[in-house]
């Protein structure tokens, strides 16, 4: 069986849009989130503009910094696969 790279641009777009809304809800700029989480500002920007697929460890760092449960970061409608 051939292994296939899994990449879901529509899902990543939905996640990115939701992350921006959660970040703003808690009054975090990209700069503040980057500084407090120890992530690079460019990494936050690339996640929010769907340039990269973040790792779970990155998502954990973001959730801890925002002081939100993981479920809040993933509380969005996943679009159907095209």
User: By C-alpha distance, which of 33, 39, 5, 4 is closest to 19?
Assistant: 33
Q: What is the pLDDT of residues 37-72, one digit of tens each?
A: 999 999 999 999 999 999 999 999 999 999 999 999
Architecture of domain 9-72: Orthogonal Bundle (1.10)
Q: Does the pLDDT value for residue 82 go beyond 80?
A: no
Q: Does the pLDDT value for residue 81 go beyond 80?
A: no
**With the CA atoms of 38, 30, 47 and 66 taken in that order, what torsion angle do they form, in degrees rounded to the nearest 10?**
60
Average pLDDT, the chain: 95
Domain boundary assignment for the chain: 9-72
**pTM of the predicted protein model:** 0.91
Q: What is the pLDDT of residues 3-28, one digit of tens each?
A: 887 889 999 999 999 999 999 999 99
Residue 79 tokens read as 């679009």
């Amino acid at each position: 069986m051939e292994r296939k790279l899994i990449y879901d641009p529509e899902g990543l777009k939905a996640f990115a849009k939701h992350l921006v809304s959660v970040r703003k809800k808690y009054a975090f700029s990209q700069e503040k989130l980057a500084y407090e989480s120890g992530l690079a500002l460019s990494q936050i920007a690339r996640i929010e503009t769907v340039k990269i697929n973040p790792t779970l460890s990155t998502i954990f760092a973001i959730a801890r910094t925002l002081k939100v449960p993981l479920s809040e970061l993933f509380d969005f409608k996943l679009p159907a696969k095209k």
